[in-house]
Amino acid sequence: MLLSIRDRARGWVAWLIVGLISVPFALWGLHSYFTGPDERIVAEVGGEEITDTQYRRAFQMRVQELRDAWGDQFPPELLDDERFRESVLEGVVAQTLLQQFIADQAFAVSDTHLARNIRSIQAFHANGGFSDQRYQQMARMQYGSVSAFESEMRRSLLNEQLTSGIGDSAVITDREFALLVGVRYQQREIEYLRIAAERFADQVRYDESDIEAFYQANQDRFRTRARVRLAYLELDPEVVAAEISVSEEDLRRMYEAEQHRFITPEDRRASHILISLDNREGEEALALAEELHARLQAGEGFSELAGEYSEDPLSAQDGGDLGWVSRDDMVRAFEDALFALEQGAISEPVRTRFGFHLIRLDDVRGGEVTPFEDVRDELEESYRRDRIEQDFFDMSEALADMTFDHGGSLEPAADYLDLEIRETDWFSREGGEGIARHSRVVEEAFMPEVLEEGLNSAPIELADGLMLVVRRLEHEPARVRDLEEVREDVEAALRAERAREMAREQGMELLSALREGALDWDAAVREAGVDVSGPLVISRGSREVSAEVGQTAFRLPRPDDGVSLGETETASGDFVLIRVLEVKDGDLADLGNDERREQQRQLARMRGNTELDAFINSLRERERVRLYTDRL
């Protein structure tokens, strides 16, 4: 593919491209060509504008976080929920306020700290270590340039520095901790009775006018979901890999260029005599070292002189033997002298911060070059990986440029890159088959630029390495289905709602009688005609009861006057009458040391989050903030 791209960029085709590029310069001028159309502003924070692009990036990140957390339980209707969209915008506003505060206070991240964090990112690693080439490619692919990525990293690190500084400074006093443990580990003894809505289903009566009225009042319940069908281009690293050929000549050149990779590390066995500077002046120490060097040159034994004169107590008793020494094991001056010696030779006095050394090279091992045949497979794997990364990056850039420059069509990019334009089946915001199973594809498909304006999407990078650009083929807006289409559903919903109302009516009558003293609990149970559940002891979040029952039970007051009654409804429409019999607070003495420490950490984090929210609110009160939620 890449060869064809390069071939097409030569000769008359290249001149045609130059001619085409000159048209927008002539029509709209340099400024509009490079800056593009004005972006929609969705908020203003202290004079700084927040664009729709910034908001959409935050929206996509938040949705992906929730999809990862909830899995199949993710509610697709959340994507259309105004409150959710506004909460995402509020999050962007909060981040902007923090960034403005950081800039005002002139916080900074050192180059060393930035480099350490970048090197720790596993996505930039290859062959067991950090790959600068991979880093450069991925940074440009994701952010357009390395400098843009590093600027974003600095902002992220500064933000983390500020938020952790506030959040981690939160303190929980012993009294607060005891009170919070009392609430968190509280247990309640309850009884409850459930009046099932389905008991009243056969008693429900309605006519045609009731059906029509219910249908008109609940049309959102009978609305179809918007659907879309896409055309798309797909870049697949496996396809790129299949087109790469490797010759022996390529591998030989790579072997010669990177031969340093295949040299086994050289170790040297050394002995030394150390004349320390601890108890003598430098000139005195040098004079003694030179005297010993002369005696060694005259034939005296190294081990004997080391045992008598060396002030390294560990090696002196072994005749000065240091064992095997690798690069970076010793201080620089010692290492340079040792690795410059021939085997058996003794160095001139070498000064380090420890004193003067006389160094003898006793043996050498390693340093051999591994033969080409032994590393051929490794070379081929590395060659292919580098070529795949480079070719895929080149094609990705070409795909992004072509689909942006020709925003109304995929065909120019398809022709240029020799790619097939594919099509999806219909799918809604819940996703579908093929590429529509990916949340990022679904989100891009329903973006206004793609869905309403008919433009190509931005490049979409998926977790499996695929890169896509999508375009709307067909779109069916959401609509309310005709009554005749949904008559059975309408009648079922109407029956369920009226049965729920009847169950609630009976339950509220019993609750009123209990509170007024007209009935006691046992009489209420008999009148309801159902079995009572309990007594049973529950904790917060207990699985022994439904979430509705548990939450209501812990909202009710303590039964200090002997009566603590409440009610709730389940998702299926059943009415539940609840009585709290006893409340037992949690006790610190019941917690083990590990659990106590974990609870303290959790509560400190909660307090830290509260303090961070308060800090952001204080920033917001000082700045003018305007939200344009109608533009979301």
CA dist list (Å): 241 to 64, 385, 448 = 29, 8, 35
pLDDT tens digits, residue range 233-248? 999 988 888 888 888 8
- The residue out of 452, 476, 500 marking a domain boundary is 476
Residue 291 sits in the same domain as residue 243: no
Residue 359 sits in the same domain as residue 413: no
Residue 379 sits in the same domain as residue 472: yes
Structural domain contains residue 135:
no
pLDDT tens digits, residue range 113-126? 888 888 888 888 87
pLDDT tens digits, residue range 137-166? 778 767 778 888 888 888 888 888 888 888
pLDDT of res. 38: 54
Q: Say yes or no to pLDDT of 380 above 70.
A: yes
Structural domain contains residue 146:
no
What radius of gyration do the chain's Cα atoms show? 37
Structural domain contains residue 163:
no
pLDDT of res. 453: 92
Sign of CA dihedral 233, 238, 241, 242: negative
Structural domain contains residue 193:
yes
How many independent structural domains does the chain possess?
4
Query: Which residue in this structure is represented by tokens 């290859």?
Result: 126
C-alpha dihedral, 73 to 76 to 78 to 80, nearest 10°: 180
Give the best-scoring range by mean pLDDT among 79-88, 124-133, 340-349: 340-349
pLDDT above 90: percentage of residues in the chain: 42
Residue 218 sits in the same domain as residue 236: no
Residue 359 sits in the same domain as residue 379: no
Q: Say yes or no to pLDDT of 576 above 90.
A: yes
Residue 489 sits in the same domain as residue 467: no
Residue 209 sits in the same domain as residue 285: no
Q: Say yes or no to pLDDT of 30 above 70.
A: no
Residue 200 sits in the same domain as residue 238: no
Let me know if 457 is exposed, middle or buried by CB neighbors in 10 A (0-12, 13-18, 19+).
Answer: buried
Show the domain range for 278: 264-365
For the segment 599-612, the average pLDDT, to the nearest whole number, is: 85
| HEC secondary structure over 170-236 | CCCCHHHHHHHHHHHCCEEEEEEEEECHHHHHHHCCCCHHHHHHHHHHCHHHHECCCEEEEEEEEEC
Q: Say yes or no to pLDDT of 261 above 80.
A: no
Structural domain contains residue 302:
yes
Q: Say yes or no to pLDDT of 19 above 70.
A: no
CATH number at residue 323: 3.10.50.40
pLDDT averaged over every residue in the chain:
85
- The residue out of 565, 584, 603 marking a domain boundary is 584
Residue 239 sits in the same domain as residue 285: no
Query: 565, 544 in Cβ contact below 8 A?
Result: no
Structural domain contains residue 3:
yes
Structural domain contains residue 70:
no
pLDDT tens digits, residue range 400-453? 999 999 999 999 999 999 999 999 999 998 888 999 988 889 989 999 999 999
- The residue out of 476, 497, 514 marking a domain boundary is 476
Structural domain contains residue 109:
no
Residue 388 sits in the same domain as residue 295: no
Residue 339 sits in the same domain as residue 422: no
Q: Say yes or no to pLDDT of 63 above 70.
A: yes
Residue 489 sits in the same domain as residue 571: yes
CA dist list (Å): 82 to 27, 77, 78, 91, 552 = 40, 10, 8, 14, 28
For the segment 330-347, the average pLDDT, to the nearest whole number, is: 92
Measured CA to CA, the distance from residue 505 to residue 461 in angstroms comes to 55
